Amino acid sequence: MNRIGIIGAMEEEVAMLKEQMKDVTVKEKAAMEFFHGTLNKKEVVVVRSGIGKVNAGICVQILADDYQVDAVINTGIAGSLKAEINIGDIVLSTDTMYHDMDATEFGYPIGQVPRMDVHAFPADETLRKLAKTACEKVNPEISVFEGRVVSGDQFVADKALKNQIIERTNGWCTEMEGTAVGQAAHLNKIPYLIIRAISDKADDSAQVDYPTFERQAILHSVKLVEELLLML
């Protein structure tokens, strides 16, 4: 993997990575700024995609077409869908699935994109194993989990909706971009990994938790990504 694309939905999720890059050139496309350079001696393209599935999918396609990246890492924050996954912990994607895709009227299960060859988009096992080792090294105070990341164009802050998503998807955390990254990577045959630090419990406490723990969660993700690059 010679060139790695690193995506964060929000500027806060990639700002610290950008600050440490060297030999940087910046190009703008689709209202996104692509920072191409080196980080921990690895060639990277770091970009803030913007929030939501469409932004994330467009971003991956640009990384594929314009930069021919060998892998895509999407770092950011998410809401926990399991009691044992606490604020600050990390979830690494085994696969990704939409929780708001509903074509059941046509015989598809919840989450299935009609006429796609998979129900959920498998993440790269090698990247995940390396990320787990990296996380345990640099974030020993937290737990790291491997499971399904589910996505929808919703900030989930309602316990009833949370329970419905869990029942429908068997997800481990919920957010707004990961599955679009997974789908675009799958279509382009690019290995990918979603890294999510937990910022809230995706329930009625989410609006209280989120501002408090956002920076802590992002810092855990950034440390993991930096260490992972050294291992690739």
Q: What pLDDT score was predicted for residue 110?
A: 92
Higher pLDDT, 205 or 28: 28
Alpha carbons 143 and 9: distance in angstroms, whole number: 23
Q: Which of 13, 124, 209, 227 is catalytic?
A: 13
DSSP letter string, 72-101: EEEEEEEEE-STTS-TT-EEEEEEEEESS-
Average per-residue pLDDT for the chain = 93
SS3 196: strand
**pLDDT beyond 80 at 24:** yes
Amino acid identity, position 199 = S
Task: Count CA atoms within 13 Å of residue 9 on its CB side.
Answer: 23
Catalytic residue list contains 70? no
- Residue length, the chain? 232
pTM score, two decimals? 0.94
Q: Which of 124, 200, 214, 227 is catalytic?
A: 200
**pLDDT beyond 80 at 214:** no
At residue 217 the predicted structure's pLDDT band, cuts being 50, 70 and 90, is confident
Q: What is the pLDDT of residues 157-187, one digit of tens each?
A: 888 889 999 999 999 999 999 999 999 999 9
Q: What pLDDT score was predicted for residue 94?
A: 98
Q: What pLDDT score was predicted for residue 63?
A: 98
SS3 9: coil
**pLDDT beyond 90 at 99:** yes
Torsion angle of the four alpha carbons 88, 215, 173, 148, in this order, in degrees rounded to the nearest 10? -90
Q: What pLDDT score was predicted for residue 1?
A: 80
Q: What pLDDT score was predicted for residue 210?
A: 59
At residue 204 the predicted structure's pLDDT band, cuts being 50, 70 and 90, is low
At residue 218 the predicted structure's pLDDT band, cuts being 50, 70 and 90, is confident
DSSP letter string, 36-54: EEEETTEEEEEEE--SSHH
E strands present in the chain: 3-8, 22-29, 32-39, 42-48, 71-80, 90-98, 121-122, 144-151, 173-175, 192-200
User: Using an 8 Å Cβ cutoff, are 184 and 60 in contact?
Assistant: yes
Alpha carbons 173 and 156: distance in angstroms, whole number: 10
Catalytic residue list contains 200? yes
